Amino acid sequence: MTSHGRTHGALAAGIALAAGAIALALKQQNRRRHRDHPADDAPGFTARRDFGRYEVVGRSVTIARPRTELFAFWRDFSNLAQFMENLIEVSPAGTDGHSVWTIRGPAGKSVQVETRIAREVDGALIAWRSVEGSDIDTEGRVTFEDAPGQRGTRVGLIIAYVPPMGEAGRAAAKLFRREPEVQARHDLKRFKMLMETGEIATSARRKDAARAAQMENA
């Protein structure tokens, strides 16, 4: 993987999720209380439950860089394909809130998802959602919080999506064949590598081998 590496988590990026599911994932704590379970402080997406028709993936990573720097890099959606392996490109980059995500699909085809920014808190949060009528019903949210002491920033990513049907569904199925959690984790780790070291680690001895490995993963 070179510094142009892409992530397994096209999904993460591409397939955004439904507002309902994310809210549910975040609010798990309250629901459990209602159900007579002792509440705890863990993120809802780590709960031993499912989220109805939505698949929910949540991951976090701590990156030893300032919050504002990480936020700014992510907010320019055209950067995301550098670390999200199955993402071909995002354009426009989301400056006016609108973007089209082009995701690697099966048999050399690609899938497009149109999203708009649903919520944004400068330096802290970006949430996006697929537009009405989009092939894939998805919603995503990335948060940036100061980590304790000198540890930098805790970056949290939650993606929710309705596993789709039809042509796009088959494409999505291919995307999701890898464990979505693994994809999300890999994507976030590549993001961390890029931000902390300026490159994405590879053990390839030659450039062509690095490229081949990249295509294999795609």
Partner 1 sequence: MRALTWHGTKDVRVETVDDPEIVNPRDAIIKVSSTAICGSDLHLYDGVIPGMMAGDILGHEFMGEVVETGPRSTLQKGQRVVVPFTISCGGCFHCRIEQYSACENSNPVEKQDASATLYGHPMAGLFGYSHMTGGYSGGQAEYVRVPFSDVGPIVVPDHLEDEKVLFLSDIFPTGWMAAENAEIQPDDTVAVWGCGPVGLFAVQAALAMGAARVIAIDHYPHRLELAHKLGAETINFRETHVREALLEMTGGIGVDAAIDAVGMEAHGFAIDNMIDVVKQKVGIGADRASVFKQALLAVRPGGRLSVPGVYGGMTDKFPLGALMEKSITVRAGQTHVQRYTDRLLAMIEEGVIDTTFLISHTLPLEEGPRGYRCFRDEQNTWTKVVLKPGMEAGQ
| Site of interaction with partner 1 (CB under 8 A) | 1-3, 62, 64, 150-152, 182, 186, 189-190, 192-193, 196-207, 210, 213, 217
3 or 112, CB closer to partner 1? 3
Pairing label, strands 87-91, 110-121: unpaired
C-alpha torsion sign, points 86, 8, 101, 52 = positive
Query: β-strands 125-130, 110-121: how paired?
Result: antiparallel
Tell me the closest approach of the beta carbon of residue 186 to partner 1, in angstroms: 5
Complex with partner 1: residue 1 or 162, whichever CB lies closer: 1
Distance of CA 95 to the CA centre of its chain: 18
Q: In the complex, what is the shortest distance from the CB of residue 107 to partner 1, in angstroms, rounded to a whole number?
A: 23
CB-nearer residue toward partner 1: 125 or 213: 213
Least CB distance to partner 1 at residue 99 (A): 25
Nearer to partner 1 by C-beta: 49 or 178?
Answer: 178
Tell me the angle at which helices 67-75 and 180-197 cross, rounded to the nearest 10 degrees.
120
Q: Rounded to the nearest whole angstrom, what is the least distance from the CB of residue 182 to partner 1 in the complex?
A: 7
| Phi and psi, residue 42, nearest 5° | -75, 150
Distance from C-alpha of 18 to C-alpha of 55, rounded to nearest angstrom = 9
Q: Which is nearer to partner 1, 119 or 207 (CB)?
A: 207
Q: How far is the CB of 32 from partner 1 (least distance, A)?
A: 26
Q: Label residue 34 left, alpha or beta by phi (over 0 means left) and psi (-120 to 50 means alpha).
A: alpha
